[in-house]
Homo-oligomer: A and B are copies of this chain.
Amino acid sequence: MLKIDRYSSVPIYEQVINGFERLVLVGALSPGSQLPSVRSLSQELSINPNTLQKAYAELDRRGISTAVPGKGRFISEDALNNLKSCAGDMLSELSSAVERLALCGIGLNKIISYIEAAYHTAPEKKGDTK
C-alpha cells in the first residue's frame, strides 16, 4: 500500500503522511476505510511503531483520520475536504521554484509545457464523474 524510501532525506513519518494523503486523494481510501493497525503496518514497513504512531497522530490532527481506541483508526468524513483546503499552500510552494527557473533563463513556455505533462500524469480519481 505504501512505499518507504529509507534513504530519502524526508523523514519516514512524513513519507507515511504523504502516502496516506495521496491514497485519499486518489480515492483508494474513502471515509470509513480502516487504516492498518500501528503494529501491523509498522511491521510490514519495518519501521518502528513509534514512528508510525507519530505519522498517524498527525493525520488525525489534520482531520484525515480518526482513532477509535480499542477499535482502530478510520478515514474521517471530511478527509477529502481537509486535504483540498491545503491546496493553497501548494500553489505558494510553486512560486519560489518558478522564480528560480526564470532566473536560470528557462523560458516560460518550457515551464508550462513541463507542467502540463506533469498535470496529466496525475491518476484519475476512482469514480470521479466530474
State the copy count for this chain. 4
Asked if B104 and A90 make an inter-chain contact with CB atoms under 8 angstroms apart, the answer reads yes
- Closest 4 interchain pairs by CB? A102-B122, A25-B103, A98-B118, A87-B104
Question: What is the interface of chain A mostly: helix, strand, loop, or mixed?
Answer: helix
CA distance A90 to B83 in the complex (A): 25
Q: A107 to nearest B CB, angstroms?
A: 9
A94-B118, A112-B115 given; A103·B66 CB < 8 A: no
Asked if A94 and B100 make an inter-chain contact with CB atoms under 8 angstroms apart, the answer reads no
Interface readout for A28-68 with B: 1 if CB under 8 Å, 0 if not?
A: 00000000000000000000000000000000010000101
Instruction: Please tell me which one of the listed residues B69, B94, B105, B121 contacts residue A84 in the complex, with CB atoms under 8 A apart.
Output: B105
Asked if B7 and A66 make an inter-chain contact with CB atoms under 8 angstroms apart, the answer reads yes
Interface readout for A101-122 with B: 1 if CB under 8 Å, 0 if not?
A: 1111110100110111011011
CA distance A101 to B121 in the complex (A): 12
